[in-house]
Amino acid sequence: MRLFQIPFSHNCIKARHVLDLKGLSYETVDINPALRGEVKRISGQTLVPMLVDGGHVVSGSTEIALYIDERHREPPLLPDDPQDRAECLILSEWADERFMALTRRLAYFQVLSAPGQLGQLFFPTAPPAVQRAAGAGSAQVLRLRFRISAERNRRDEVEARRAARLALDRLAGEEHLLGGRLSLADITLAAMAAPLQYAGREVRDDPGVRALLEWGSRTLGSDFSPLPAPQAVAAA
């Protein structure tokens, strides 16, 4: 199996964690966020993660998780009971919808505020001069693509605190969202909330956000912090 990925993408972290949890062997193929021609050639679309498993091509972190869980049952990511299974999928979809775009914008706002970081993040092997030039161009693309602005960031900071409190209320002091054991819902919430660790200090210091990040770190372990410093964690 080959997993096409952006290493710091929280969607790709989710897919990698599922593959590792199942104990499967796979090769990662790192792509440049700005250069996705090979992904489009193979899958007909440009988003990652993308899994190539023999003649099967699967795009999207949830789709990959469900594909893997169907073929490699241990440990199961979905409950056997139909009602619990439906709730698990609903919670996973909620975590994607509530956190994915929100936390990506918050993280990118910070990295766009630090000149030079984006070039290092997107073009790690390029010479410094190329990193600076390519980073400046990529910054404009990101601002437009994700509608990143100071005003939007202020609104996102408020929403992040609200979403974190809601997630904690759903956890209600438990380690897992459903059935007392790890499920796809936990992995999704932890991965989608993870970029909050790269948001501004006011968000990171919020008690609810801090508690959610501590839970996410326990859930994902070493996968939770893909970068050595608060730079950016972005969905593809």
Structural domains for the chain: 2-71 (3.40.30.10), 82-223 (1.20.1050.10)
Please determine, for residue 234, whether its predicted confidence score (pLDDT) is greater than 50: no
pLDDT band at residue 50, thresholds of 50, 70 and 90? Answer: very high
98 contacts 163 by C-beta, under 8 angstroms? yes
Give the pLDDT confidence score for residue 106 in this predicted structure. Answer: 95
Task: Identify which has the larger pLDDT, 216 or 34.
Answer: 216
pLDDT band at residue 90, thresholds of 50, 70 and 90? Answer: very high
3-state secondary structure the chain: CEEEECCCCHHHHHHHHHHHHCCCCCEEEECECCECHHHHHHHCCCCCCEEEECCEEEECHHHHHHHHHHHCCCCCCCCCCHHHHHHHHHHHHHHHHHHHHHHHHHHHHHHHCCCCHHHHHHCCCCCHHHHHHHHHHHHHHHHHHHCCCHHHHHHHHHHHHHHHHHHHHHHCCCCCCCCCCCCHHHHHHHHHHHHHHHCCHHHHCCHHHHHHHHHHHHHHHHHCCCCCCCCCCCCC
What is the pLDDT averaged over residues 18-39? 91
pTM: 0.87
What is the pLDDT averaged over residues 149-178? 96
Give the pLDDT confidence score for residue 232 in this predicted structure. Answer: 42
